Structures are given as C-alpha cells and as structure tokens.
C-alpha cells in the first residue's frame, strides 16, 4: 500500500524531475527550473489523479510550496 | 523611422503599469527611454535581454527612437545559446538585467537604469546593417543554430496598423502581459498598443501565480493573449467562474487550439460578453497572418479565418499551382507588407535586404471553404509547437545523431516523443534535451526502440514507429 506521503512525493518527483532529497518544506514555485507554470499544471494533474480530487481555483493558485500543499490537500480530506 | 518617434503626443497618458513602479506616463517613459539611448552614438546592433519590466521596455523604446537594430532575447535563455548569439552577431551593445553575466567577452558598463545595465563591447567588429532592418527575433526557444528572423520598419508598421484595425485597439485599452516580449506574439501586443497610446500592464507572473490575477483585477485589464497552453491553464482554473468584468476581448495564437477547447471558450466568452479572437501567424510574418472575426468563431470552429487587413492568402499544390476550389488541401501562401526580410545566420547577413519580396510559404497545409475561411490541416515541415515554441524534429534528431545516438523524433504539439536505441540512457536524454532545448521535461517522452525503422535509402519510416 502506498502511503499518502509517498503519493504526494511521487507527484512532485515526477512533475519536476527531482529526487527525494530535493523535497523539503521550503521547495517553492519558480525557484527551480522545472516548477514553472507548465510543471505546476503537471503537478496539479498528478495530485488530482493520485488522490481522486478536484482542486479549486484558489487552491491551485495558492499551492506555492511543498509545505503549503499539504495544508491545501487536508481541506479535501487527504492527510499527508 | 517608425511610430516610436510619435509617442510624445500621448504625453500624460499612462504608458505602463508595473508591480513596483505603479503607473508611468508616456512622458516619463520616453524621458527614461531617451536617457538610456543617448549613450549610443551611431546606428548599430544592440541585444536586449528581455523581461516584462519597466527597464526592459524603456530600453526597447529608447533604442527604437534612435533607429538601432535591436535583437530581442528572452532572459531565460540558455547560457550557451546566448554566448553563441554574441559570438555570431557581435553586438556593439547589450542591455540586460544586472544579475546576468557575460563570460568570455569584454564589455564595459556605460549606463545603468534600475535593475538593468547598458554594456558596450570593448572589441567591436565592423559590419553593414541594411537600412530597412529594425528587429531580430529568434523563431523558437533555442533549437538549431543562432538564427534570427530579420524584421523591417515596414514590417512593424504594417503589422501594428493591421492589428489596431481588426482588434479595434484604442488608447483606453489596457492589455496585461502573458508572454515574453521577445516572442513575436507578445511583442505584437506591446507594439500595437503603444501605437494607439494604450496602457500596458507589465507582469512577470504567470497565470498560475495569484499575483497575475491581482494585477489583472486591480488594474482592470481589458485584454490578454494566449498560446494554447495558456487556454489549458484557464480551463483548469475554471475561467468560466471567474469574475473579470474589465475584460473586453482575448486573443489566441501560437499554435492550434483543439476544437473542443475552442468551442468551450467560444461559449464561455459569449456568456461573459468577452470577444474571442482566434488568430494564426508566424515570426516570419511579424506575428499575424490571419484571424477569425469573433462573430464567426462558433460558425467556423477550428478555422484560422481570413487574412489580416491588407494581406492576401491562397493555397498552392505541390507543383506551385494555385488551388481555387473549396475543400482542396494545399500549402498556405501569404502575401503582405508584414512578411519579413528573411533570416540571418551571422552578422554578414545583416547587410541583406528583402529576400522574400512580401511572399511567405508558410509550410502549413490548409483548406479553404466556400466563404473564404481557411483551416490548417497539417504541415509540410516536421516541427511541433511545445508550449508556444516551435521545435524542429529534424534538428533534434540531427543534434542527437551528432552526439552519437541512433534515434527518431515524432509526437504532437506539447508531446515530443524521442525513440532511442539505448534503453539505459532514456532519462539522461530526457534531461539533456529538456535543458538544451528549454522544453519542460513533462512534455518529453523518451521510448526505447530496438532499431530505428528505415527504408533502403536510409530514410526514417515514421509510420513504422510504435
């Protein structure tokens, strides 16, 4: 069974082509080359697929860091 | 000389609205612009490393007003590609963000404005600049050699006049930036609105950044343009639910929007009383070639419409004969004053005049219906549009072949597929091409193939690929 944390991490790693060691709370939109608008859309799609949810506009826009994302997903009943 | 020398008439009107500096009048913009350009003695080539910022625009306007040849290069450019451009064109000046660096070339700083610096080359090369030459633009992110499209003063003038006419641009309009100014579509929006004395809202924030939406709302933007990917973001953000009363019209170009998305936006825009223009063009035509008048967008779904004012469009068969019957496919040919002079591959080419004589073979295959509306159905050349950038598949193949790989490239827009005979190097090639060509890795799929299918003469059989 894959844990929610693993699913969450995989979405980041696959969308941005980064390693587990790159994942930290401060990881932020536009601070690495692959987390641009294209990478952001990819990440949103991966998360929606993995957790079978549909993110609201404001949540897509405010999903600015690795840490912030866990707070947002909590609103959809997904505990990371 | 061009319309940039007539901007003084807009005087106290707001020219720019930025995040940091607020509203800047035409008078203030021109004062700053002229102050930057005064440091340049004679007509020469200048590189601008562009951002959607006050500094970048001010340099551009200033250089236009003293009649320089300007090459526009995006600030996100790959370092190697930037150096190759410097080496190939030897600009006398480079105007760029202070944090940027130039290695291996000797420059001295002659002026600085806010976060930008004007650098003068210490080792100049003398070469001829054709009198008609105004702008140099790259055709894609960074593929291929250091090639530019040469745009003339007449190209720019005819384009702004046509855009202002069919979009009905007025001084009351306030477009917000969504694309780099070095990209022909982004630049055409900037130029045509300056031409009419409108106010440009400048932002570096993308559509997934909340700052973009607050800039749009607070400054009551009336319009923006977008490549297909921007429309995919808008759909994901549920544009239909957003309250954006200031928006009057939006435009789409830079690749074909799929018919489903086009139909959805047609409906959404109709409900919101926003005019929706689908357009078609190329850097080789100073941006626009055709547009679909918004009243036809639902009736002519999927069409790129009719030629822009003063342009002509027709189809030709493979023998070069004009096709006159409706529904028959052929290569789309365009004629107009916005067809650029030609390409440049080094500074010697900057002496060349008009090689195209107003005629552009687009490389796109199209059909025309009985009402004279054109629809693109294919391409004669093998290229893809990756998030608005043109990527030549043959160039990528050649590039990898030179690196010692056996490969074949195919795919569709936003989905580049590379077939590779070395399964262990899939990841390596993906990140290599992604970095080199500035393509987001999620748009690249590298697949293993035992052998690249070829015919007797060695030509790749693309139809036999997986």
Is the full-model pTM beyond 0.80? yes
Is A29 touching B (CB cutoff 8 A)? Answer: yes
Predicted local distance difference test score (pLDDT) of residue B140: 63
- Give the model confidence (pLDDT) of A24-56 as tens digits: 999 999 999 999 999 999 999 999 999 999 999
Which residues of chain A lie closer than 8 angstroms to B442, CB-CB?
Answer: 15, 38-39, 42
Is A62 touching B (CB cutoff 8 A)? Answer: yes
Residues 6+ apart with CB under 8 A from B392: B140, B143, B144, B381, B382, B383
DSSP-assigned states of every residue in A1-70: ---HHHHHHHHHHHHHT--GGG--TT-BTTSSTTSSHHHHHHHHHHHHHHHT----HHHHHH--BHHHHH
Distance CA B92, CA B68 (A): 11
A·B CB contacts under 8 A: 46
Task: Tell me what the mean pLDDT of segment B107-131 comes to.
Answer: 96
Which residues of chain A lie closer than 8 angstroms to B233, CB-CB?
Answer: 37, 41
Predicted local distance difference test score (pLDDT) of residue A30: 94
Going by pLDDT thresholds of 50, 70 and 90, the confidence category of residue B142 is very low
Distance CA B4, CA B280 (A): 26
* Interfacial residues of B (vs A; Cβ cutoff 8 Å): 206-210, 213, 229, 232-233, 236-238, 241-242, 387, 430-431, 434, 440-443
Q: Which of A17, A34, A60 sits opposite B208 (nearest CB)?
A: A60
What ipTM was assigned to the predicted interfaces of this complex? 0.91
Indicate which of B214, B441, B443 best probes the interface with A, i.e. most A CBs within 10 Å of its own CB.
B441
Q: Helix H segments across B168-209?
A: 184-195
Is A65 touching B (CB cutoff 8 A)? Answer: no
Q: Percent of chain B beyond pLDDT 90?
A: 80
Going by pLDDT thresholds of 50, 70 and 90, the confidence category of residue B1 is low
Q: Indicate the length of chain B as a whole number.
A: 466
Q: Considering only alpha carbons, which residue of chain A is nearest residue B435?
A: A33
Mean pLDDT over each residue of chain B, to the nearest integer: 94
**Burial (CB count <10 Å: 0-12, 13-18, 19+), residue B25:** middle
Spacing of C-alpha B462 from chain mean position: 29
Is A71 touching B (CB cutoff 8 A)? Answer: no
- Give the model confidence (pLDDT) of B181-197 as tens digits: 999 999 999 999 999 99
Is A57 touching B (CB cutoff 8 A)? Answer: yes
Return phi, psi of residue B77, to 5°. -55, 145
Q: Which of B241, B430, B442 sits opposite A57 (nearest CB)?
A: B241
pLDDT at B403 over 70: yes
Which residues of chain A lie closer than 8 angstroms to B229, CB-CB?
Answer: 37-38
Indicate which of B442, B443, B444, B445 best probes the interface with A, i.e. most A CBs within 10 Å of its own CB.
B442
Residue B266 DSSP SS3:
helix
Q: Which of B213, B233, B241 sits opposite A37 (nearest CB)?
A: B233
Asked if the Cβ–Cβ distance from A61 to B213 is below 8 Å, we say yes
B93-108 core/surface letters (b: 16 or more CB in 10 A; e: else): bbbbbeeeebeeeebe
pLDDT at B208 over 60: yes
Is A4 touching B (CB cutoff 8 A)? Answer: no
DSSP-assigned states of every residue in B59-90: HHHHHHHTT-EEEEEETT--HHHHHHHHHHH-
**How does DSSP classify residue B457?**
T
Q: Which of B206, B210, B242 sits opposite A37 (nearest CB)?
A: B206
**How does DSSP classify residue B339?**
S
pLDDT at B389 over 90: no
Alpha-carbon distance B430 to nearest alpha carbon in chain A (angstroms): 10
Is A30 touching B (CB cutoff 8 A)? Answer: yes
- Give the model confidence (pLDDT) of B286-333 as tens digits: 999 999 999 999 999 999 999 999 999 999 998 999 999 999 999 999
Predicted local distance difference test score (pLDDT) of residue B227: 94
Beta bridge partners of B175: B223
**Burial (CB count <10 Å: 0-12, 13-18, 19+), residue B261:** middle
| A16-20, A60-64, B102-106, B268-272: the lowest-pLDDT one | B102-106
Q: Which of B238, B431, B440 sits opposite A57 (nearest CB)?
A: B238
Going by pLDDT thresholds of 50, 70 and 90, the confidence category of residue B466 is low
pLDDT at B126 over 90: yes
Q: Which of B207, B213, B430 sits opposite A37 (nearest CB)?
A: B207
Distance CA A39, CA A36 (A): 5
Asked if the Cβ–Cβ distance from A61 to B208 is below 8 Å, we say yes
Strand order in the sheet with B415-420: B407-412, B415-420, B444-448
Distance CA B186, CA B318 (A): 33
Q: Which of A15, A34, A40 sits opposite B208 (nearest CB)?
A: A40
The token pair that represents B195 in the structure block: 């031409």
Spacing of C-alpha B379 from chain mean position: 19
**Burial (CB count <10 Å: 0-12, 13-18, 19+), residue B401:** exposed
User: Using an 8 Å Cβ cutoff, are B279 and B290 in contact?
Assistant: yes
Q: Which of B209, B430, B442 sits opposite A15 (nearest CB)?
A: B442
pLDDT at B381 over 90: no
User: Using an 8 Å Cβ cutoff, are B121 and B102 in contact?
Assistant: no
Which residues of chain B lie closer than 8 angstroms to A61, CB-CB?
Answer: 208-210, 213, 237
Asked if the Cβ–Cβ distance from A30 to B209 is below 8 Å, we say yes
């Amino acid at each position: 069974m894959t844990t929610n944390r693993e699913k969450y991490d995989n979405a980041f790693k696959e969308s941005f082509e980064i390693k587990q060691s790159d994942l930290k709370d401060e990881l932020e939109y536009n601070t690495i080359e692959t987390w641009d608008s294209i990478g952001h859309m990819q990440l949103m799609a991966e998360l929606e697929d993995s957790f079978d949810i549909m993110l609201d506009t404001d949540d897509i826009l405010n999903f600015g860091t690795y840490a912030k994302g866990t707070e947002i997903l909590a609103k959809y009943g997904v505990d990371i | 000389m061009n319309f940039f020398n007539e901007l003084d008439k807009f005087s106290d009107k707001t020219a720019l609205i930025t995040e940091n500096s607020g509203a800047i009048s035409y008078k203030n913009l021109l004062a700053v612009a002229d102050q930057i350009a005064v440091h340049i003695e004679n007509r020469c080539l200048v590189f601008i490393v562009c951002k959607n910022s006050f500094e970048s625009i001010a340099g551009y306007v200033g250089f236009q007003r003293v009649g320089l040849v300007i090459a526009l290069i995006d600030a996100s450019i790959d370092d190697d590609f930037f150096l190759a451009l410097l080496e190939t064109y030897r600009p006398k000046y480079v105007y760029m963000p202070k944090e940027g660096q130039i290695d291996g070339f000797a420059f001295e700083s002659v002026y600085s404005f806010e976060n930008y610096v004007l650098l003068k080359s210490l080792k100049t090369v003398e070469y001829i600049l054709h009198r008609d030459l105004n702008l140099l633009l790259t055709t894609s992110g960074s593929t291929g050699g250091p090639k530019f499209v040469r745009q003339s003063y007449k190209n720019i003038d005819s384009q702004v006049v046509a855009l202002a006419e069919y979009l009905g641009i007025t001084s009351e309009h306030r477009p917000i930036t969504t694309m780099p100014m070095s990209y022909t579509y982004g630049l055409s929006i900037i130029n045509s609105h300056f031409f009419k004395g409108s106010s440009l809202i400048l932002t570096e924030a993308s559509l997934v950044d909340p700052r973009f939406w607050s800039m749009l709302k607070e400054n009551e933007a009336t319009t923006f343009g977008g490549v297909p990917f921007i429309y995919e973001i808008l759909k994901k953000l549920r544009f239909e639910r957003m309250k954006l009363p200031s928006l009057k019209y939006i435009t789409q170009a830079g690749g074909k929007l799929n018919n489903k998305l086009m139909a959805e936006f047609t409906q959404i825009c109709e409900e919101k009383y926003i005019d929706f223009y689908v357009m078609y063009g190329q850097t080789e035509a100073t941006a626009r070639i055709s547009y679909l008048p918004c009243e036809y967008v639902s009736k002519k779904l999927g069409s790129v419409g009719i030629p822009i004012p003063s342009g002509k469009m027709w189809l030709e068969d493979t023998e070069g004969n004009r096709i006159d019957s409706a529904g028959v496919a052929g290569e789309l040919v365009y004629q107009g004053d916005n067809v650029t002079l030609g390409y440049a591959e080094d500074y010697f080419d900057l002496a060349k005049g008009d090689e195209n004589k107003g005629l552009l073979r687009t490389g796109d295959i199209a059909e025309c219906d009985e009402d004279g509306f054109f629809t693109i159905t294919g391409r004669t050349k093998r290229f893809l549009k990756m998030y608005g950038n043109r990527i030549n598949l043959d160039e990528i193949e050649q590039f990898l072949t030179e690196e010692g790989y056996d490969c074949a490239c195919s795919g569709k827009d936003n989905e580049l597929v590379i077939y590779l005979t070395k399964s262990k190097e899939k990841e390596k090639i993906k990140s290599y091409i992604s970095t080199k060509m500035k393509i987001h890795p999620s748009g690249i799929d590298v697949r293993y193939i035992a052998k690249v299918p070829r015919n007797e003469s060695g030509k790749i059989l693309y139809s036999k690929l997986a």
